[in-house]
């Protein structure tokens, strides 16, 4: 019984110390708090090359040979490396002059860059999670009451 009481006291001390050290924001789970949100810029994926799109089509048809498979894997790695370098256009810059239909415009640009439906869905999920304000339509006129 004393073991249980001591364990409870230790947990109370640990949580109380964390509250004193980090403040109440650590324990805030309100709807306005986004624990994964970020203000870092999100960059668009680079456009896929015609060769990479051809390899993807062959892979979808199941006719990708062993040599092509190695080249396709290298192409995908190079494409992902360009994406993670963060040197392309940011989503903020792309949507800067767009007031309505921001998500649809982003989807059109992603599809024009050769992204598949599932890749577009994943990118939109990341944008929605990290920067939901970017996809909200903005009014060009202030609303007066």
Tally of domains in the chain? 2
Residue 144 lies in a domain: no
pLDDT band at 107 (very low <50, low <70, confident <90, very high): very high
Whether residues 63 and 125 share a domain: the answer is yes
Tell me which residue has tokens 């970020």. Answer: 38
**Cα radius of gyration (the chain):** 23
In this predicted structure, the answer to whether residue 140 has a pLDDT above a threshold of 60 is no
Measured CA to CA, the distance from residue 98 to residue 92 in angstroms comes to: 10
Q: Identify the domain containing residue 89 by its residue range.
A: 50-135
Measured CA to CA, the distance from residue 44 to residue 83 in angstroms comes to: 7
pLDDT one-digit tens code per residue, 32-52: 555 556 677 888 888 899 998
């Amino acid at each position: 019984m004393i073991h249980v009481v001591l364990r409870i006291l230790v947990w109370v001390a640990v949580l109380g110390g964390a509250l004193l050290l980090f403040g109440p924001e650590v324990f805030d789970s309100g709807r306005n708090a986004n624990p994964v949100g970020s203000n870092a810029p999100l960059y668009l994926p680079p456009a896929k090359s015609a060769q990479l799109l051809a390899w993807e089509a062959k892979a979808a048809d199941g006719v990708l040979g062993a040599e092509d498979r190695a080249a396709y894997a290298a192409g995908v790695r190079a494409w992902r490396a360009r994406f993670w370098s963060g040197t392309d256009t940011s989503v903020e810059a792309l949507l800067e002059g767009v007031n309505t239909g921001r998500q649809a415009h982003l989807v059109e640009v992603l599809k024009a860059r050769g992204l598949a439906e599932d890749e577009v869905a994943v990118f939109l999920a990341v944008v929605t999670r990290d920067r939901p304000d970017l996809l909200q339509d903005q009014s060009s006129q202030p609303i007066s009451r």
